[in-house]
Structures are given as structure tokens and as C-alpha cells.
Amino acid sequence: MIISLDIATLAQAYATGTLTPEAVLTCIYNRITVEGEAPVWISVVPRAVAFAKLKAAPKGPLWGIPFAVKDNIDVAGLPTTCGCPEFASTPSRTATVVEKLEQAGAILIGKTNLDQFATGLVGTRSPYGIPSSAFDPDYISGGSSSGSAVAVAGGLVSFALGTDTAGSGRVPAAFNNIVGLKPTKGLLSARGVVPACRTQDTISIFALTCADAARVCDVASGFDVEEPYSRAPPRGLDYEPLPNGLRIGVPAEPLDYCGDTETERLYGLAIERLRGLGCDIVAFDFAPFREAAALLYSGPWVAERLAAIRDFAARSPAAINEVVRGIILGAERISAVAVFEGQYQLAELTRRAEAEWAKMDALILPTAPTTYKISDVLADPVRLNSNLGLYTNFANLMDLSAIAVPAGFRANGLPVGVTIMGRAFDDARLAVVGDGMHRTLDDVRLGATSMPLAATPAIATKPSKRIEVAVVGAHLTGQPLNWQLSERNARFVRTHRTGPGYSFYALANTTPAKPGLVYDGKGLGHIEVEIWEMDDAAFGSFVALIPAPLGIGTVKLVDGAQVKCFLCEQHAVHDAEDITRHGGWRTWIGSKKA
């Protein structure tokens, strides 16, 4: 069967009758029979069971779409091994996220291989075999969600679920030329998932296109009252057109590519492709992100890995992979004091990062600095694995959303990927940015198949119908009145600056301290604003809170666009300090502390 397994292509073929789900399943099972289950699969749904499920499947948005799940995610009747045979047990209930997918008509093919207990970014730490890159059997597939990524790249399923704590939903995507969506923590329920670090885990989605990943996320997401870490997003996953002038952050410091000049070259080209899409490229300080990344394995969060399997580790330590055992059991030395100290350090780094987020709407990094041969990883398993997490480990610790997308190929034929990251619940916007950038590649193919990306549809977008309002002072992110926005489910859109002609003042005798923005035609302008959006009811209640002499007017931004914004009555600035030269409230506050 020569047809792409991307969701849009299959759905169209089913709708027109040119292909049936039965034919797709037959082809997949025939391939598995010929190629063998190992090392991609740990268990496969029996063919007869899959066909029975297809017959009973609801004709929802994923009807007849084949998928796989990482084998730390429960499926009733199939063993959950976490890559450790002695740990295996067969659950009676399916994980929430898999239930949602099957209720939408998707057909589960099986459970995939992984780095044992989801501990690793390499894909070599499993007794069920070592999945290799879909492009070269000598090279690693990436982990821990190794089998899921290879199954998608190889055209065995349309999409697959992984998990992502340190980068396991992104690194394998980069090494196999596919998309890896790492949702905001809690957006997808983790009920029925064996945790690695429960406070930091998220289910991830591997797909052939950003549009497919977004479609699966739409189905799989949703608040789950049975999952304590489930979170309701402040708004739906609205896919809006890529705005002109979206600010994409690039580290000001030179990055470490572990000697891989090809990753460096392709990362640079990815940045230029974003510029070509109308994005503004801005520099930011990567230091707080880099320091947070180091905490995941050198800090106390390793103790969460031990907490997840403590009884089993105490009872059967010899059953655990040697490298994984060394990492997990090493957590026995971590004290409760160290846990709190680590949390304090992370909070400080996250606060430092807020200043960098004020400069950018999203950031782009190499997904991994390089890749390695399987033999090299087996010879040096800890150091090389650590290298692969340089640009992924901080994302969940800092509560970020992320999407990994292909960025082209090295001269040796191995793929390179980049990751676009945003703040929590920026998932939809990142998918639109990633989709646009992915489609700027020349003659790009889906995974390791011969199918062209150009034959698949882009993410369908529609303009927002919500009201945008620009804030300039106490309502900015991290400032004392920002809660008035968050409690109304307002969504951060972007940071921008006013046009010229505006003056900016620190008002006297206000609690909390507030600024006043005035148009007098004389000011330098270019004052930092954050633009938020909310529905009309929330906007009305928000405006009702605004005290005199402030009010809502219309401000012109530096790009000529106009938006509702806090403005101040002229009389109130007569005895106020003119702080226009500082260019924004946060900068002025920082100058007072210096």
C-alpha cells in the first residue's frame, strides 16, 4: 500500500472510499509480521482484536486512524512493563488519554519500546532490544520514547503517544524526522501512566505533521478530575494565524553543539526561515534556562524517579538496567532539605527567566546538540545521554510548552530537529509556528517514508474573536495585579511596544505602585506593553476594576497596529516622575533596585 499514513490523507481516503481502515490495518499487521515486533514493539494488539475494535469504533475525528502508545501507559488487557519484564502487570483499566483517543475512533496497534522506566534520552536502555534511527541502524533512535518515534517515522502508525520529562517526546522526534509535541504539563491527563517524575511528566505526541499532532492533542486534552495534576487551560486550543512580528528568542551566548557543525548549520537556517515567515529574531540570556536544565538530574528531582518505583527497586534491584539502577538508586542519598533547596533554586531561576520572556513570545533551540552511534552510547552511557538534554531538560521544570519539528538533514543523511518553546498553554500557537517553519523546508518527506509534506494540509487557523488589551504596569506578568487577568482566563498573546509620541510616568501615591501612559505627541514612546486577550464578558468586568485616573483607550503600537490599552488622564501626571526613558515599567523598577 503506497499511501501516507498522515491523518488528513487517511481521513480523505476513507471519506471518498478510495481506501478502507481494514486495508490499512491489514497492511500494518502484514508489515509487523514480516519485520518482527522487536525492537519497536513490546506488545501488539492481536490482529483479530484490532479488527473487532475497528468494527465497533465510533466514527469520530480519528476513526480508523492507527496509533501506538509507549509501554508506560496503561491499556486494559495488555501488560505495562515500563521496559522491565519483572515489573510487568496487566491493568484492568485503560489510561484516560487512550480512552479519549479510542472514543474518537482511533485504533490501537500496540505498545512500544522505551528506555527502562522512562529514564534516558538514548533508546538503548531496554531488555526488549535497541530501536535504531529510522535512517541508519548504527545510530540511536533517541529516548526514552524510542519505539513510539520509530513506529511513526517508519510508517507503521499515524501517531504515537510517548511521555516527556526531560525531552523524551522531543529528542526521538529530532532523530527520526518527525514532529514531537510536548504539551503543557497537565493538559493531557496522566491517569494510567506509570510516572518517572510525577510532578514533571507529560504525555507527548509523535506525528508526521504539526497539523496531525494538533489534531490528536485536541482530542486527547481535557481536565480530568481523577488526575491530581490535571489542569484546565485558561482557554481552548485556538489555532490563530501566525502574527507578523512574533518575537522569537535566540540565545545570546554561543551554544554547545558537542562538535557537531551540521546541527549548528541547520539550526542557523531554521532561524532564518522563521525570519522569512515575518518573525522578529531577538537575543535573550539563556543562562537561567541552562542552569535549570542542570537541576533535573543533578538536583533532587531524581528522587521522584525512586518514589515512582521504590517498592520494586527495593525488592528487585537486579531486575533494573544497570545504568537506570545507578541513576534511580542514587536518589537514596537525597535529603528532604535538598528537595526544598532545589525548589528554591528553581523558583529563583524561573523568576530570572521571566525577564527574558518579557523580550520574546517564543524561543527556538536545537532539539539536541548532536546524535551518536549506538556503540558509542553503550560505551559511555551517562555522559552522552546528558549531552542530549542540554536544550530540553528545563522545559517541564519551568512549566513551558514545546514542539519539536524537523530542520533538515546532515550530509550523512541523518536528520536534525529544532524545538520551539513557549509559556504554559501556548501549545496551539507553537503548533502554528512549527507548522509554518516545517513547510519552508525544501522537498521535505514525512519521517523515513517517501511521502511529501507538501501533499498534506497545514493547520487550519482562524482569527481570534476575543478582545485584546495592552497592559503596561501592575498587570504585567509577575506584577501584583496580574491575577486580575489570570482569574478571568485571559491569555497572554505577545509583548510589544508603543509607537512614538507616548510619555510614561510613575504615578504618586498609588498602591500597588502604578504607571501612567499618556499620549502627548512629544514622548519618545516605545514603551513595553503586554497584550492579553479575553472574552467580552471578562473584558467588561476587568474594565470595571480600573480606578481613576486610569482608563481604557486605544494605543498605537510601533508597527502601526492599534489595541485597547491602559491610558492615564493628563492631570494626574503633573506631580509624577517621568520614566519614559526607561522604556517600560519593569525596567524602571529594576533601576530602582540597582
Report, as residue numbers or ranges, the catalytic residues: 70, 144, 168
Q: What would the grid cell of residue 521 be? A: 505627541
Residues contacting residue 442 through CB under 8 Å, at least 6 positions apart:
none
Burial class (CB in 10 A: 0-12, 13-18, 19+), 351: exposed
If DSSP codes are grouped into helix, strand and coil, which group holds residue 480?
coil
Residues contacting residue 414 through CB under 8 Å, at least 6 positions apart:
133, 135, 136, 139, 175, 371
Place of cell 527574558: 356
> Which is nearest to 101 in space by CA: 65, 150, 146?
65
Rg (CA), the chain: 25
If DSSP codes are grouped into helix, strand and coil, which group holds residue 558?
coil
Contact indicator for 381, 122 with CB cutoff of 8 Å: yes
Q: Which amino acid is at 292?
A: A
Alpha-carbon separation of residue 201 from 225, 235, 266, 545, 588 (angstroms) = 17, 22, 29, 38, 38
Contact indicator for 391, 364 with CB cutoff of 8 Å: no
Complete DSSP assignment for 265-295: HHHHHHHHHHHHTTPEEEEE--HHHHHHHHH
> Which is nearest to 111 in space by CA: 98, 96, 127?
98
Cα separation of 50 and 56, whole Å? 10
Residue 285 has phi, psi (to 5 degrees) of: -85, 115
If DSSP codes are grouped into helix, strand and coil, which group holds residue 225?
coil
Contact indicator for 61, 105 with CB cutoff of 8 Å: yes
